[in-house]
């Protein structure tokens, strides 16, 4: 089995680490630090982010974030996502895992680093009424939408394809609110119900929209420049991400849950099977979690060696 999955593991590691075939140094550095960090073993955040469901959640997050014209303008005008999508993916993974598994200092430094990069991400866009509006990636309101889309995607994907969440969905939303605060979000939701209320306000506000730029982005997310070994599995994971969207957002994005093959395999089941293969290829615990457990064990934190 190991020999069969070896090519898949190699391509997955290469993809998630932006071309590196080994463990990036920043992951090994998560073993450093003199405090436990914001999240611990047994937390809701460790349960969700340590599963395979974030792979689907990441795709879903990109689809949701594209609905905000300010967020989309920032991506199109200030990033090289077309030329270097894996680099952008690797940077996002680095921030998520550092906040999840790193010391307090590491998490805060990683967030400051992202916010510094965001300082240049500003400009203007035309809203649904044709009025020019300014945007800034560090604007608390825009950061709030990004945080909502992320939290909703990761929670929803885990509820469908992950295991139990310690403390339930509310615990995950409450714990990950800290990541929102680190990124300048002023009022991150503290419960699942609060998260849905905030999402409803955004939907009803009329600020979200779909245009040609959104359609172009969705098509890029549907068919990213992946290695051919990963393309069949990604096709299923994209279908899973679409499946997990609320119908109102699917309708806005012009998406429908795809059929998988001449004999339709249920998307939910197919996605679960692909995530299972990824788990077998990568192993139960990734380098970030192992490095964090090394730090926590050194600090004598209960449960670090479990």
174-187 residue pLDDT tens = 999 999 999 999 99
Within a domain: residue 149?
yes
122 found inside a domain: yes
Q: Which domain holds residue 177?
A: 27-223+286-298
Does 190 fall in a domain? Answer: yes
Q: How confident is the model at residue 255 (pLDDT cuts 50, 70, 90)?
A: very high
- Quick check: is 106 in a domain? yes
Q: Tell me if 265 is assigned to some domain.
A: no
- The reply to whether 253 falls in a domain is no
User: What's the confidence (pLDDT) of residue 208?
Assistant: 94
Model confidence band, residue 90 (pLDDT cutoffs 50, 70, 90): confident
pLDDT at 185: 97
Q: Is 73 inside a domain boundary?
A: yes
Domain membership of residue 280 (yes or no) is: no
Cα→Cα distances 204→37, 62, 197, 297, Å? 37, 20, 11, 48
The average pLDDT across 101-129 equals 90
Number of domains in the chain: 1
């Amino acid at each position: 089995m190991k020999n069969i999955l070896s090519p898949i593991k190699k391509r997955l590691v290469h993809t998630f680490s932006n071309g590196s075939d080994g463990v990036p140094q920043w992951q090994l550095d998560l073993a450093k630090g003199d405090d436990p960090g914001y999240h611990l073993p047994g937390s809701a955040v460790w349960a969700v982010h340590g599963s395979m469901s974030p792979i689907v959640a990441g795709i879903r997050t990109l689809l949701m974030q594209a609905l905000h014209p300010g967020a989309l303008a920032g991506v199109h005008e200030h990033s090289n996502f077309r030329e270097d999508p894996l680099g952008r993916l690797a940077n996002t993974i680095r921030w998520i895992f550092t906040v999840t598994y790193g010391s307090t200092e590491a998490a805060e430094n990683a967030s400051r680093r992202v916010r510094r990069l965001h300082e240049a991400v500003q400009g203007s866009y035309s809203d649904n009424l044709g009025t020019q509006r300014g945007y800034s990636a560090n604007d608390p309101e825009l950061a709030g939408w990004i945080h909502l889309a992320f939290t909703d995607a990761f929670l929803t994907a885990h509820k469908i394809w992950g295991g139990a969440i310690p403390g339930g969905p509310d615990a995950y939303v409450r714990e990950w609110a800290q990541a929102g605060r680190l990124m300048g979000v002023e009022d991150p939701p503290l419960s699942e119900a609060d998260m849905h209320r905030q999402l409803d306000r955004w939907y009803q506000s009329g600020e979200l929209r779909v245009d040609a730029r959104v359609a172009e982005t969705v098509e890029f997310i549907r068919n990213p420049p992946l290695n051919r070994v990963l393309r069949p599995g990604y096709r299923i994971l994209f279908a899973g991400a679409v499946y997990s969207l609320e119908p109102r957002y699917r309708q806005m994005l012009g998406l429908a849950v795809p059929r998988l093959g001449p004999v339709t395999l249920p998307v939910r089941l197919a996605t679960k099977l692909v995530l299972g293969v990824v788990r077998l290829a990568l192993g139960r615990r990734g380098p970030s979690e192992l490095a964090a457990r090394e730090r926590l064990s050194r600090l004598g934190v209960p449960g670090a060696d479990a």
